[in-house]
């Protein structure tokens, strides 16, 4: 009980509240501007959170991402451009509704069901995380090895259109994580005598590069003409929401459940949750022919899914230190910097921090409703913000932010290389999510692997001796071989 009181104290104080208010506005803005993503919002926040105590730092990220995933719906509806990739699944649908004069309904549904989905995901986080953490306390290096491997496998199987490219992206990430002294033998690997590489490649500038600089480059080379804002009077976005809730309770529940699950799977986040939910919604709908013509059903389901995925992603991140999506990959980096190392012991040693995270999620999803409503009201002005003025400002911020972590010009170089590399790789169909997971999890994978190998004296069978390890191991191996097997079976059955 004391821990809960402590958590309230950590969250409900002037500093944290100011941070929440500021990052909420920041998140709404970033989400509403096409080309700026929720992950980018997180990456840009890191240099600032670097100078804050742990809980306000986490508060900034939780609030900003929740807001950004919602406000990404706004340009989808009014410009036919998703504000963040998480809204891409139903952008055409929302725009079709706008053309039918239903912008108000589409935006309202986006807002209300985002909040509901977010709260659902938070509830699952609160219920599932402590139980899992209890279970994980008994894990040895064998279990962690398989768990990390399973996580990395999920990242490839779910996110990559072509698994081979996903694997290559993952290998790049793992290779980057291998640079430096932090390895079982303490040998300076791949440093070529460069002192700055001894401690490894700094994760924060790299992520700023991958998620912010790459988007700036993409904007600079974008040859598409500017989109035109649809002018439509928007009065009460909450009108009709109760009717929709009663009409589509199953869709809301299904979207939230699927979103939380997809979020919790490593590598897949809000955007994939939204795509899957939209597809399921269409498949199971009583009126699938209406999809694509401005029908609100799919928006409700996938709008709930993408926000619940945000909270779901925190489950493995807090319990195992395995990120559920790119955002939590950055969060894990922040937690380590704040000496709030994620893992099951965090639940027993510093439960107040965990309770504070729960509170922050509940709070963020509640204030989303009034703030989101204000954001919709201001949407027309927001969407007029000239992006060619915005992008250089963000770029300078990236430079200063990357520099600020270690006061090192080398890190600015890391940022640039990561940004260009992420742009080139993504242009050529290599997904970025497995790469970032590889970077974050590489050290953990190697440590648990080498420790296990030494404990087992090189006997690979020992990886299956403990029951939980064996189960996870079988799952991980099955995940590697099942999808191609199923594809082959389907092909032979079809032929």
Partner 1 sequence: MKINDAIFGAIFALLGAVVLVHVQSFPNIPGQQYGAAIFPGLIAAGFVVCGLLLVVSGVKSRQDQRWYETGEWLGSRRHVAAALAIVAGVVAYILLADVVGFLIVSPLLLVLWFRALGVRWGPAVLSAVITTLAMWYAFYKLLRVPLPWGVLTPFAF
Q: Which residues bind partner 1 (CB under 8 A)?
A: 48, 51, 164-165, 167-168, 171, 174-175, 178, 183-187, 189-190, 213, 216-217, 220-223, 386, 388-389, 391-393, 395-397, 399-400, 403-404, 407, 409, 412-413, 415-416, 420, 424, 427-428, 430, 445-446, 449-450, 453-454, 458
* CB of residue 466 to partner 1, shortest distance in Å: 20
We find the least distance from the C-beta atom of residue 217 to partner 1, in angstroms, to be: 6
Continuous segment of H or E residues that includes residue 184: none
Closer residue to partner 1, CB minimum distance, 87 or 448: 448
Comparison of 55 and 415: residue with beta carbon closer to partner 1? 415
Buried b (16+ CB within 10 A) or exposed e, 154-189: bbbbbbbeebebbbbbbebbbebbbbbebbeeeebe
Minimum CB distance to partner 1 smaller for 38 or for 156: 156
Nearer to partner 1, 101 or 429 (CB): 429
Nearest to 365 by CA among 425, 456, 304, 447: 304
Tokens of 195: 């002192």
H-assigned helices in 407-466? 409-427, 433-456
CA pair distance 196, 200, nearest whole angstrom: 8
Q: How far is CA 189 from CA 193, 235, 359, 421, 488, in A?
A: 10, 61, 42, 21, 41
DSSP 72-122: THHHHHHHSS-SSGGGGGGHHHHHHHHHTT-HHHHHHHHHHHHHHHHHHHH
Of 366 and 454, the one with the shorter C-beta distance to partner 1 is 454
The 3-state DSSP class for residue 180 equals strand
What residues contact residue 39 under an 8 Å CB cut-off, 6+ apart? 211, 326, 327, 330
DSSP secondary structure letter of residue 291: T
Please report how close the Cβ of residue 339 comes to partner 1 at its closest, in angstroms.
19
Closest by alpha carbon to 272, among 155, 110, 128, 169?
155
Provide φ and ψ at 180, rounded to 5°. 110, -170
Nearest residue (CB) to partner 1, 249 versus 392: 392
Nearer to partner 1, 192 or 467 (CB): 192
Taking the C-alpha atoms of residue 332 and residue 204, their distance in angstroms, rounded to an integer, is 11
Closest distance to partner 1 from the beta carbon of 77 (Å): 26
- To the nearest whole angstrom, how small is the minimum distance from the Cβ of residue 412 to partner 1? 5
Q: Among residues 14 and 221, whose Cβ is nearest to partner 1?
A: 221
How far apart are the C-alpha atoms of 210 and 28, rounded to whole Å? 21
DSSP-derived 3-state class of residue 10:
helix
Work out how close the CB of 14 gets to partner 1 at its nearest, in angstroms, rounded to a whole number.
Answer: 17
The least distance separating partner 1 from the CB of residue 72, rounded to whole angstroms, comes to 23
**Shortest distance, position 214 Cβ to partner 1, whole Å:** 11
Smallest distance from partner 1 to CB 98, Å: 28
* Cβ closest to partner 1, residue 130 vs residue 413: 413
């Amino acid at each position: 009980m004391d821990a809960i009181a402590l958590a309230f104290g950590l969250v409900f104080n002037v500093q944290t509240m100011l941070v929440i208010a500021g990052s909420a506005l920041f998140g709404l803005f970033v989400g509403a501007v096409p080309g700026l993503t929720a992950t980018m919002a997180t990456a840009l926040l890191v240099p600032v959170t670097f100078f804050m105590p742990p809980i306000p730092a986490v508060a900034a990220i939780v609030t900003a991402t929740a807001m950004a995933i919602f406000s990404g719906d706004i340009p989808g509806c009014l410009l036919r451009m998703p504000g963040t990739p998480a809204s891409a699944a139903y952008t055409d649908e929302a725009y079709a509704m706008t053309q039918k004069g239903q912008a108000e309904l589409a935006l309202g549904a986006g807002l209300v069901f985002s909040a509901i989905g977010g709260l659902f995901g938070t509830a699952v986080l609160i219920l599932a995380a402590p139980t899992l953490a209890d279970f994980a306390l008994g894990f040895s290096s064998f279990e962690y090895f398989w768990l990390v491997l399973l996580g990395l496998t999920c990242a490839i199987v779910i996110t990559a259109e072509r698994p081979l490219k996903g694997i290559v992206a993952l290998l790049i990430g793992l290779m980057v994580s291998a640079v430096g002294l932090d390895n079982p033998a303490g040998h300076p690997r791949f440093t070529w005598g460069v002192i700055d590489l001894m401690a490894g490649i700094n994760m924060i500038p790299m992520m700023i590069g991958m998620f912010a600089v790459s988007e700036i480059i993409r904007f600079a080379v974008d040859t598409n003409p500017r989109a035109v804002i649809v002018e439509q009077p928007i009065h009460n976005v909450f009108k009709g929401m109760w009717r929709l809730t009663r009409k589509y309770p199953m869709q809301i529940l299904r979207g939230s459940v699927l979103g939380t699950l997809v979020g919790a799977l490593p590598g897949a986040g809000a955007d994939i949750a939204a795509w899957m939910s939209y597809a399921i919604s269409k498949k199971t709908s009583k009126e699938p022919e209406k999809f694509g013509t401005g029908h609100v059903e799919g928006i409700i389901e996938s709008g709930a899914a993408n926000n619940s995925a945000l909270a779901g992603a925190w489950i493995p991140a807090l319990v195992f230190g395995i990120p559920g999506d790119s955002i939590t990959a950055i969060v894990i980096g922040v937690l380590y910097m704040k000496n709030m190392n994620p893992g099951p012991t965090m639940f027993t040693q510093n439960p107040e921090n965990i309770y504070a995270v729960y509170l922050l999620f509940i709070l963020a999803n509640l204030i989303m409703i009034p703030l989101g409503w204000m954001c919709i009201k201001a949407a027309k002005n927001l969407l007029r913000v000239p992006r060619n003025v915005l992008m250089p400002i963000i770029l300078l911020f990236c430079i200063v932010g990357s520099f600020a972590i270690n006061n090192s010009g080398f890190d600015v170089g890391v940022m640039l290389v990561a940004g260009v590399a992420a742009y080139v790789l993504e242009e050529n169909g290599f997904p970025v999510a497995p790469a970032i997971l590889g970077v974050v999890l590489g050290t953990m994978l190697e440590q648990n692997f080498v420790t296990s190998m030494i404990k087992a004296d090189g006997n690979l069978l020992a990886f299956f001796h403990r029951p939980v390890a064996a189960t996870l191991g079988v799952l991980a191996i099955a995940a590697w071989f099942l999808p191609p097997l199923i594809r082959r079976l389907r092909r032979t059955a079809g032929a």
